[in-house]
Amino acid sequence: DVKVTQSSRYLVKRTGEKVFLECVQDMDHENMFWYRQDPGLGLRLIYFSYDVKMKEKGDIPEGYSVSREKKERFSLILESASTNQTSMYLCASSFPRGISGANVLTFGAGSRLTVL
């Protein structure tokens, strides 16, 4: 019954490494989102995508990039990981507003990244 799958639950990387976080959804959602969650700061939007190959910056895109080559897959890329990118990363997806007024987000289980 899993609908949004994040490929890695826990990752440990070293400073300067390139990191890929993968997210796959099986609900045919147009919208996909990447957030990072830090205590006291809530969820902050990194990037989102509303269609294949389309992406928009969120509130904290610096140091990140994304890729959406297929509708079901949205990847978050850290080109050169830094210690301040240690965080929980949450992927989510939804239908567009026009299909469902509520366009509720469905979240993955999260990927906890530690950068040493």
Helix (H, G, I), strand (E, B) or coil at 83: helix
Q: What's the full length of the chain, in residues?
A: 116
58 is an interface residue for other proteins by CB under 8 A: yes
Q: How far is the CB of 97 from other proteins (least distance, A)?
A: 5
C-alpha span between 19 and 79 (Å, rounded): 7
The footprint of other proteins on this chain (CB under 8 A) covers a number of residues equal to 29
Q: Which of 43, 63, 67, 77 binds other proteins (CB under 8 A)?
A: 43
Residues contacting 110, CB < 8 A, separation 6+: 6, 9, 37, 88, 89, 90
Q: Which of 25, 34, 46, 48 binds other proteins (CB under 8 A)?
A: 48
Q: What residues does 67 pair with on adjacent strands?
A: 75
Q: Give the residues lining the site for other proteins (CB under 8 A).
A: 31, 33, 35, 40-45, 48, 50, 54, 56, 58-59, 88, 90, 92, 94, 96-97, 101-105, 107, 109-110
